[in-house]
Structure 1
């Protein structure tokens, strides 16, 4: 295991709608915000890579039913090209969004390298098709897209569909229980643990079953997605789509500590925390302290 860390900055907000007319989503400032509040000092990255996204707009692609689709596709291709190099370097990649649409680049880069799993921690399924979306934002559809559902211009870039096979994906933490919303993911082959199910069965069972699947399916590795809104709204309200309840830090930490300690873990991405919604950094600092400790404890040298 390489114990060094690289940070990769993808400060895109292309997957979200405007919170107010004429106002961009603030998640584009997440990497700078985490740096300012000590995350980089804590992780001491060997290298920092930054890829600036295309200009934000609310442009709707009527064919795909997704806003900013052409910009997202172009950016994903650039991300994948950078990540081809980053994944081969050795230091563990910590990828910072931005919104959830940044998973497109990671998914494409990993598909080119082999057969990988995905552990998707999010307060929503993000397994929505355009016809059900009220916003047209890819951030609400990205898990569907990376498993092959949606318009081919998004799901089959460079002929790579699907970027992740459904049976190699865990969706963990959803707490939007409306029947029509969860129906698509229940009909898929994705392993689905909503918040109630996760807390009933326990984080230990969930992570153990995922890690066993990685071995049983002889996967080349797995990637971790962490959307900040998977956390309880009381401890993380600085997100664009709030909902009551969520994971405690103890629950999140237990999941991440087990996953990050695996030699099959190839990277983690962090999305959706909006600095504009946490002006005093009260919630950000607690987030940094917990997530930073998980990463460091899992990647530390044996004699540390």
Structure 2
């Protein structure tokens, strides 16, 4: 079993301001999770932190995306850190931050080989910048890391695509807008909406994904977890709320299967905004569920 390392990426660079002159609160997530005992529950002394550049709500003139130059600089630093951990055969358990932290992870994975990406999210985040009202890269990051978009972000270190489009599984979306869904439907990625996931069965979905990882002889796969994949009733502290979503029973079933795979190379958790969970109850429930499932799964690997 790989040695666990908690990695803190407290970034909000991929989101718009929730209100004028107010930064998104998600950059406080690593400290918030520590306060609610995630670090203690995972029982590791290996903790690394990389602070993000200063936030700006202005769009880059070349890409029309918020914080582009900061995202590139941060992504390079993140990739260096993750690459080192993977080279040491360690398991990065990354705490964001918004979904833009995937940029650094994806660069590192490309530097190491050919990897799959299981993108577990209440949105596809597979969107062209022309469809974005905010310019926040968080809403288009799955598309960018598979090589779609301006080369300033898609071709850092001349590594485009960081993840091959056909190695992306986009699972859990419940934003049922035809133009929005067509972006990923018209790609080579595998798209499994929340409705399709429930109709076809969680175990069938995960078995198909893991089978593909083996059949393609991928070097491993990365797990991206956006907490807005959870039902809005149990996880309302997110930037883009949508009705419905996974129950903890469904979420734990998915993550349990994935956590037990020896092909899982690392994971990241994003979007839970401490500013939107004043009592900490939603965070506590999330920590209890994910750490219990992760720890049990790791024991089952032994």
Give the TM-score of the pair, scaled to structure 1: 0.98
Correspondence for 2:171: 172
Correspondence for 1:141: 140
**Paired residue secondary structure (1:184):** helix
| Structure 1 residue ranges without an equivalent (≥5) | none
Aligned ranges 1:211-222 → 2 under 5 Å: 211-222=210-221
Correspondence for 2:87: 88
Aligned ranges 1:1-304 → 2 under 5 Å: 1-2=1-2, 4-300=3-299
Shift of 1:295: 1.3
Shift of 1:89: 2.3
**Paired residue secondary structure (1:60):** coil
Which digits, 9 at most, give the CA deviation of each residue in 1:73-121, with x for residues without a partner? 0000000011111112233210010000000000000100000000000
| 8 Å contact from structure 2 (residues 33, 287) kept in 1 | yes
Shift of 1:301: 6.8
Shift of 1:207: 0.4
Distance 2:301 2:270 in 1: 30
**Structure 1 stretches of 4+ moved >6 Å:** none
Distance 1:268 1:216 in 2: 22
Matched residues, number: 302
| 8 Å contact from structure 2 (residues 260, 300) kept in 1 | no
Say if 1:147 and 1:302 are closer, same or farther in 2 by CA, change over 3 A: closer
Distance 1:158 1:297 in 2: 38
Which digits, 9 at most, give the CA deviation of each residue in 1:173-228, with x for residues without a partner? 00001111111100001100001000111110110000000001000000000000
Shift of 1:268: 0.6
| Structure 2 residue ranges without an equivalent (≥5) | none
| 8 Å contact from structure 2 (residues 260, 301) kept in 1 | no
Give the TM-score of the pair, scaled to structure 2: 0.98
| 8 Å contact from structure 1 (residues 5, 44) kept in 2 | no
Which digits, 9 at most, give the CA deviation of each residue in 1:102-146, with x for residues without a partner? 000000001000000000000000001111000000000000000
